Structure 1
Amino acid sequence: MSSLVRHITIDCADAYALGGFWAQVLDSKLSDDDRPGDTEVLVESPGAGLLFIQVPEKKSVKNRIHLDLQPEDRTREEEVERLLALGATLVDDQRRPDGLGWAVLADPEGNEFCVERSKGERAAAERAE
C-alpha cells in the first residue's frame, strides 16, 4: 500500500496569522481547534491540508518546494489581484502576452507560490489553436 500526503507543513513566525491568510486564499477554514497564539494551525482543504508550525528562525532562502495555484472560478489575472489585496506580493511576473506563463507571488511571510491560468483559460487557448 502506498502513502498519501496528509499535510503540507510550512514553518512560519505566526502560525495563526499565516494560516488565516492561506485559509482566505483557498476559500477554506482553519481547524475548529485553532486559536490566536497557537503555534500549530491547520488549514483544512480537500486533498492535503496546510499545517503551519511556528518556528523561531526567519525564512532566509528561496523555497525548495512551492504551491502552484489554479483558479477555479476566475481568471489568473483576477486571482492575482485578489491575492495581492489579501496581502501577497508579486515577486516575479512570468505571464506572457500570449496568455502562457504564471505569476510568482509571496505570502505575508515571504513564502513563494505561483498562480497559473485557470482550467477555463487553458481550454479556451486549446480551442483557439
Structure 2
Amino acid sequence: MPLHWKLVIDSTNAPALADFWAAALEYEVEDPTPLVEQLLAAGHLPEGAVVEHRGRKTFRGYAAIRHPEDPYDATSGVGHGRRLLFQDVPEPKSAKNRLHLDVHGGPGGLDDLVTRLETLGAIRVREVDKGPAGHWWVMQDPEGNEFCAT
C-alpha cells in the first residue's frame, strides 16, 4: 500500500497562498471549521490560535488544499490524497527553490495556462524552449516561489 504524503510549503500568508494554489491547480481549500470549533468548545485551543479567512475558521499560520476527487475527513477537512499544506514562517524566501511544481496546461495549451496563472497573481520569470525536449515558462507564485507552467 502506498504511503500518504503532503507537500509542505513555507509561506508568509498561508491562507492567501492556499487560495492562489487552489485556483491554479483547481483544488479545494480544506475547511477545518468543524474541528476548530470542536477544539475551541472543549478548551483545547486558545482563541489566539484561530483566524477566520473567507468565512472559515482555520488554524493561525496554516492552510491546506486538496484534490477535489480525493477522499477527506469531514470533521477536520484533511485530505487523504494529493495535498499541499502551507505554513507561515518568520523569515522571507531567500533563495531558489530546491523543489518545485510543474503545472501542466489543458486543452487551451501553454499560452492559455500562463495567462490564467497571471490573472491569479503569478509572474512570468523566463521562457524556456528546448525544442523537441520541451517548452515551458518558469513562473513565481505571489510569494516568489518558482514553478513551471508546461
TM tier relative to shorter chain: 0.7 to 0.9
Q: Which runs of 4+ in 1 moved over 6 A?
A: 96-99
Distance 1:2 1:31 in 2: 22
Change (3 A) 1:60 1:13: same
Following the alignment from structure 1 to structure 2, what is the Cα–Cα distance between the partners of residues 22 and 89? Answer: 13
Q: What's the counterpart of residue 27 of structure 1? A: 26
Give the deviation of 1:73 after TM superposition. Answer: 3.5
State the distance in 1 between where 2:101 and 2:24 align: 12
TM-score normalised to structure 2 length: 0.69
The answer on whether the counterparts of 2:25 and 2:103 sit within 8 Å (CA) in structure 1 is: no
RMSD of aligned C-alpha atoms? 2.1
The superposition leaves residues 70-103 of structure 1 with CA deviations (integer Å, 9 ceiling, x where unpaired) of 1233211100011011110011111467793110
Unaligned runs of 5+ in 2: 34-51, 71-80
Segments of 5+ residues of structure 1 without an aligned counterpart are 117-129
Q: Once the two structures are aligned, what percentage of the paired residues are identical?
A: 37
Q: How many residues align?
A: 115
Per the normalisation by structure 1, the TM-score is 0.79
Residue 41 (structure 1) aligned to one of 39, 63, 81 = 63
Alignment of 1:54-73 (within 5 A): 54-73=88-107
